[in-house]
Structure 1
Amino acid sequence: MQRAVTKSPVRDHKGPLLALAFTFFTVGVASLSVVGLGRWVSHDLHILPSQTGLLVTAFALIYAVAALLVQSLFGHWPRHRLLVTGLTVMSLGLLMSAGAASFAPLMIARAVTAIGAAMVGPVVTATGSLLVPPKQQGQALATVFGGFTIASVLGAPLASVLAPSIGWRGVFVALAGVGLLAAALIIRVLPPIAPGQRVTVSTYRQVLTIRGVRSTLLVTLLQIAALFTVYAVAGSYLSGRFGSSAQWISATLLGFGLGGVLGNALSNVTVMRFGSHKTLLFTLLASAVLVALLLIAPNLPWMGLTVFFLWSAFANMFQAPQQARLIGLHPAGRGLMLALNASILYLGISLGSWLGSGLLPRLGAAHLAWPALLLLVLAALVSYHGRPPHRPVIPALR
Structure 2
Amino acid sequence: MNTPFSAPTRRALRTLSLAYFVQATGALSVVGSLDAISRQWGLADSQSAYLISVFGVSFAFAAPLLQVGFGHLRRRRQVLLGLGLFSAAALLFAAAPNYPVLLVSRVLMGLGAGFIGPVLGALGSSLADREHQGSAIAVVLLGLSIAGLVGMPLSAWIAHAWGARVLFLAVGVAGAATATLIAWAVPDSSEGEHVKLSTVTALLTRIDTLSAFLVVFFIAAGVYSTYSFIAPIIRDVFHAGPGTVSTSLVVLGVAGVAGNLFVTRAARRYSAETMLLAGLTLLSADLVLLWLASPSVGWLFVALTAWAFATDLLWPSQQRRIVELVPQLRGVALALTASFVFCGIGLGSAVAGWIYPALGFAGVIGSSLLFLALATASLKISRASGAQERPFDNIVVDRGRARHGGKGSQL
TM-score (normalizing by structure 2): 0.88
The structure-2 alpha-carbon separation of the partners of 1:238 and 1:189, relative to structure 1 and needing over 3 Å to count, comes to same
> AA paired with 1:340?
L
The structure-2 alpha-carbon separation of the partners of 1:25 and 1:241, relative to structure 1 and needing over 3 Å to count, comes to same
- 1:358 counterpart residue number: 354
The structure-2 alpha-carbon separation of the partners of 1:243 and 1:100, relative to structure 1 and needing over 3 Å to count, comes to closer
CA positional deviation for 1:204: 0.9
1:160 equivalent to 2:123? Answer: no
- 2:407 counterpart residue number: none
User: Please, which of 38, 45, 53 is the counterpart of residue 41 of structure 2?
Assistant: 45
- 1:127 counterpart residue number: 123
CA positional deviation for 1:256: 2.1
1:315 equivalent to 2:306? Answer: no
CA positional deviation for 1:242: 4.5
> AA paired with 2:274?
K
For structure 2, the residue ranges without an aligned partner over 5 or more in a row are 401-411
Return 58-67 or 39-48, whichever deviates more. Answer: 39-48
- 2:257 counterpart residue number: 261
User: Please, which of 233, 236, 256 is the counterpart of residue 232 of structure 2?
Assistant: 236
Residue correspondence of structure 1 range 25-174 to structure 2 within 5 A: 25-163=21-159, 167-174=163-170
1:84-143 CA-to-partner distances (Å, cap 9, x unmatched) read: 111111111122222222222222122222211111111111100000011111111111
Secondary structure of 2:192's match? coil
> AA paired with 2:127?
L
> AA paired with 1:261?
V
Contact 1:127–1:193 (8 Å) recurs in 2: no
| C-alpha separation in 2, matches of 1:92 and 1:233 | 27
The structure-2 alpha-carbon separation of the partners of 1:80 and 1:205, relative to structure 1 and needing over 3 Å to count, comes to same
1:214-256 CA-to-partner distances (Å, cap 9, x unmatched) read: 1111111111111111111113334444455554444333222
| C-alpha separation in 1, matches of 2:7 and 2:388 | 30
CA positional deviation for 1:260: 2.1
Secondary structure of 1:313's match? helix
> AA paired with 2:11?
G
The structure-2 alpha-carbon separation of the partners of 1:385 and 1:79, relative to structure 1 and needing over 3 Å to count, comes to closer
CA positional deviation for 1:343: 0.4
User: Please, which of 355, 371, 377 is the counterpart of residue 375 of structure 1?
Assistant: 371
For structure 1, the residue ranges without an aligned partner over 5 or more in a row are 1-8
| C-alpha separation in 1, matches of 2:260 and 2:284 | 18
- 1:193 counterpart residue number: 189
1:172-192 CA-to-partner distances (Å, cap 9, x unmatched) read: 222222111111111111112
> AA paired with 1:213?
T
Residue correspondence of structure 1 range 376-391 to structure 2 within 5 A: 376-387=372-383, 388-389=386-387
| C-alpha separation in 1, matches of 2:255 and 2:131 | 26
Contact 1:285–1:377 (8 Å) recurs in 2: no
CA positional deviation for 1:76: 0.4
| C-alpha separation in 1, matches of 2:289 and 2:38 | 35
| Matched length | 391
The structure-2 alpha-carbon separation of the partners of 1:303 and 1:192, relative to structure 1 and needing over 3 Å to count, comes to same
> AA paired with 1:258?
V
1:393 equivalent to 2:386? Answer: no
| C-alpha separation in 2, matches of 1:248 and 1:160 | 10
CA positional deviation for 1:51: 2.3
Contact 1:86–1:119 (8 Å) recurs in 2: yes
Residue correspondence of structure 1 range 177-326 to structure 2 within 5 A: 177-210=173-206, 212-244=208-240, 246-326=242-322
| C-alpha separation in 2, matches of 1:274 and 1:366 | 34
Contact 2:121–2:137 (8 Å) recurs in 1: yes
Secondary structure of 1:364's match? helix
- 1:4 counterpart residue number: none
Secondary structure of 2:8's match? coil
| C-alpha separation in 1, matches of 2:232 and 2:166 | 28
CA positional deviation for 1:165: 5.9
> AA paired with 1:218?
L
> AA paired with 1:353?
S
The structure-2 alpha-carbon separation of the partners of 1:211 and 1:107, relative to structure 1 and needing over 3 Å to count, comes to closer
CA positional deviation for 1:313: 0.9
| C-alpha separation in 2, matches of 1:385 and 1:41 | 41
The structure-2 alpha-carbon separation of the partners of 1:153 and 1:182, relative to structure 1 and needing over 3 Å to count, comes to same
Return 362-371 or 186-195, whichever deviates more. Answer: 362-371
Secondary structure of 1:208's match? helix
1:329 equivalent to 2:325? Answer: yes
TM-score (normalizing by structure 1): 0.90
Contact 1:126–1:334 (8 Å) recurs in 2: yes
- 2:12 counterpart residue number: 16
Contact 1:295–1:367 (8 Å) recurs in 2: no
Contact 2:203–2:210 (8 Å) recurs in 1: no
| C-alpha separation in 2, matches of 1:44 and 1:299 | 30
Secondary structure of 1:193's match? coil
Q: CA RMSD in A?
A: 2.4
The structure-2 alpha-carbon separation of the partners of 1:240 and 1:37, relative to structure 1 and needing over 3 Å to count, comes to closer
Contact 1:210–1:393 (8 Å) recurs in 2: no
